[in-house]
Every structure is written in C-alpha cells, then in structure tokens.
Amino acid sequence: MFDILHRVGIHNAPPSSVYGALTSIDKLSNWWTSDTTGRSEIGSVIKFRFGERGFFDMKVLELEPAKRVVWEVADGPKEWIGTKVIWDLSPEGEGTTLRFKHQGWREPVDFMNHCSTKWASFLFSLKAQLESGKGTPFPDDFLISIDFD
Amino acid sequence: MFDILHRVGIHNAPPSSVYGALTSIDKLSNWWTSDTTGRSEIGSVIKFRFGERGFFDMKVLELEPAKRVVWEVADGPKEWIGTKVIWDLSPEGEGTTLRFKHQGWREPVDFMNHCSTKWASFLFSLKAQLESGKGTPFPDDFLISIDFD
C-alpha cells in the first residue's frame, strides 16, 4: 500500500477552527468544492462534487473534536475506493499543525502523483480560507495540470 | 522505502525548457533557491542553500535532455541523505507534464509530510517561473508551516 502525506501550519486558527473546516458542510464548501452536501456524522456520507470532473463520496469513520477526522472513500475514482483520508490536528503556537494522510493506494499510479499535488493545492486553499477567508474551492481551484485538473 | 510523488503540467513550455530549468544553475535559482551553485554535470554536485534553514547537496546521476534528470542527495538533512530526486518530462499539448519522485525515504516521518507539501509549493514556483517568469525561490518562498519553513 502507498500513502500520500502532507503537513501544513495554519496561523491564527486553533485546532477547533480547523476541525470545523473539516466537519461543517458549509465550511468544507469554502475550500474544497462549492458543491458539498451530506452529513458529517459517524457512518454518514459527505458528497463532494466537481461538475464534469468527477466526485468523491466519503463515509465518515472517525470524528474526534479538535483532534482527528477520518473518512473512507465509499465511491469515486476506482483508485480511491476503499482508501482512507486522515486528518490529524495539533496545536502549534497560536495556530494548528495539520497532518494529512491519504492512505491505502494499491499502486503508485500516475493518478496518485496528480492527486498528491492536487491535495497540496487544496490544503493551501484550506489554509488561505482559515487565515484570510479566501479559499479557492472548485470551480475556482488552482489547475495544476494540462491534461487533468 | 517510501516515496513522495507529484505531477504538474506546465503550459507553453516544451520539455526542453523544463529541462533547462532543472539543469541550469541560473535557472534553478529562479524557482528553488536563489543561492544555487555548482555544476550540473554527471558526477558533479549542485549546492542548494537556504540560509539558516539548511542545505542540500545533490550529486547529478542522470541527465537525459528534455526527458529525465536524477539527483542523489549527497549531503543535507539526515533523512534525505542517499535518497534520490527524479524528474521525468513528457510533452503534453503545447507544454510539458512533469512527474516528480523523491525516492527512498527510510521511514514516513513527520519531516516527510512536510517535505511532500513543500515540494508541491516549489513545483508551483517552477510552473509559475516557466509560465509567467514569476517564480518564488528562497528567500521569497511560500511558508507552509508555523514551526518549519
């Protein structure tokens, strides 16, 4: 199995605020995709839609306020199904260090390279949203590719 | 062993231009660190300096014009020594798809999370430098952390 790892620091946002941005449907729509629906409750599914580009359905596995969120990919690109997206939060000075893991890729395919970089761009969107109120969710996201998104 | 993977598309820059940005000391200084010295020749070392933050000495292992560059970390942070940084280029429309691998981490330590995200930010700097002439090399790089850089 292969994992995508990331880590960002978010200034002036305590872990409770970052946790909110990962668990409120409204706040998720401010940094990942504006088309986010569903319920952030254990066992429920959050639906992230990206127009014609595709979608992810995330089943909520763990919710530990101000500390940890875990999703399992219930539906979406075949390479993603069954993988987990893990968010760990820890206080750092006046802000939060966010550790991210997209765990359980079966093969390090080209799409994994793409998703690693695209996750980084969305983490920067999350960071900007929390620090300055200016996230760049789909459809205003940063396009990192020529052939993909 | 664990690898960091990334992938970006660079518009309006053929593989030969991207190759130039990875092999010319002057051009490397436009997107990674302004303090870049050494020689980009097989067996030579390129020295990347980041002031008090640290440094990387990269031994050039492979140079395949417009296709591939491989460096081995000869000196720097202990976690990096002996790892390889691999750049693969392929034409895509009017531009280039760049596939990146930082190969051979011995453990998926916290610093690997950080470096994965920081590499993404420098790939965006490389992309911006080639597309618009506006890279953000050290010391003008995007700071992604509270505790690290």
Report whether CATH 3.40.50.1000 matches the domain B2-132.
no
Q: What is the mean pLDDT of residues B123-131?
A: 98
What's the length of chain B? Answer: 149
The structure tokens 């596995």 sit at A61
Q: Does A148 touch chain B (CB under 8 A)?
A: yes
| Stretch B38-52: mean pLDDT | 98
Q: What is the pLDDT of residue B3?
A: 98
pTM over 0.95: yes
* Pairing between β-strand A55-64 and β-strand B55-64 as defined by DSSP bridges: unpaired
pLDDT at B50: 98
Sign of the dihedral through C-alpha A22, A27, A31, A34: positive
pLDDT in tens, A43-77: 999 999 999 999 999 999 999 999 999 999 999 99
Ramachandran sector of residue A75 (left: φ over 0; alpha: ψ -120 to 50; beta: rest): beta
Q: How large is the ipTM? A: 0.97
Q: Are B106 and B1 in contact (CB under 8 A)?
A: yes
Average pLDDT over residues B71-84: 98
Please state, in angstroms and rounded to a whole number, the distance separating the CA atoms of residues A39 and A112.
Answer: 27
Average pLDDT of span B99-110: 98
CA distance B8 to B120: 9
Determine the average pLDDT of the residues in B16-41. Answer: 98
Give A62's contacts (C-beta < 8 A, 6+ positions apart): A42, A68, A69, A70
CB contact under 8 A, A117 and B108: no
For residue B93, the model assigns a pLDDT of: 95
Q: At what angle do helices B110-132 and B15-23 cross, to 10 degrees?
A: 120
- End-to-end alpha carbon distance in chain A: 25
Q: What is the pLDDT of residue A89?
A: 99
pLDDT digits (tens, 9 = 90+) for A75-102: 999 999 999 999 999 999 999 999 999 9
Binary contact (B6, A117; C-beta < 8 A): yes
Q: What is the pLDDT of residue A119?
A: 98
Spatial separation of the C-alpha atoms in residues A92 and A86, rounded to whole Å: 19
Model pLDDT for residues B132-141, shown as the tens digit of each residue:
999 999 999 9
> Which of 78-117 (A) contact B at CB < 8 A?
92-93, 95, 97, 99-101, 108, 110, 112-114, 116-117
What percent of chain B stands above pLDDT 70? 100
Q: Distances from the Cα of B76 to the Cαs of A6, B53, B82, B112, B144, in angstroms?
A: 21, 11, 10, 14, 20
pLDDT of residue B69: 99
Q: What angle do CA B139, B77, A88 make, to 5 degrees?
A: 85
Closest CA of chain A from B111, distance in Å: 9
The pair of three-digit structure tokens given for residue B49, joined into one six-digit string: 């300096």
Question: If pLDDT is split at 50, 70 and 90, which confidence band does B131 have?
Answer: very high
Residue of B nearest to A93 (CA): B146
Express each pLDDT in A95-144 by its tens digit.
Answer: 999 999 999 999 999 999 999 999 999 999 999 999 999 999 999 999 99
Reduced to 3 states (helix: H, G, I; strand: E, B; else coil), residue A112 is helix
| Partner-chain contact A123 B145, CB within 8 Å | no
Which two tokens mark B119?
């590499």
- Band of pLDDT at residue B61, cut at 50, 70 and 90: very high
Structure tokens, A11:
């200034």
Interchain pair A144, B113: CB under 8 A:
no
Contact A121 B124 (CB under 8 A): yes
HEC sequence for chain B: CEEEEEEEEECCCCHHHHHHHHHCHHHHCCCCECEEEECCCCCCEEEEECHHHCEEEEEEEEEECCCEEEEEEEECCCCCCCCEEEEEEEEECCEEEEEEEEEEECCCCHHHHHHHHHHHHHHHHHHHHHHHCCCCCECCCCCCCCCCC
The pLDDT assigned to A112 comes to 98
pLDDT at residue A95, as a whole number: 98
Across the interface, of B95, B120, B144, the residue whose CB is closest to A117 is B120
Residue with tokens 């990674």: B32
Give me the pLDDT at residue A94, please: 95
| Alpha-carbon distance A10 to nearest alpha carbon in chain B (angstroms) | 7
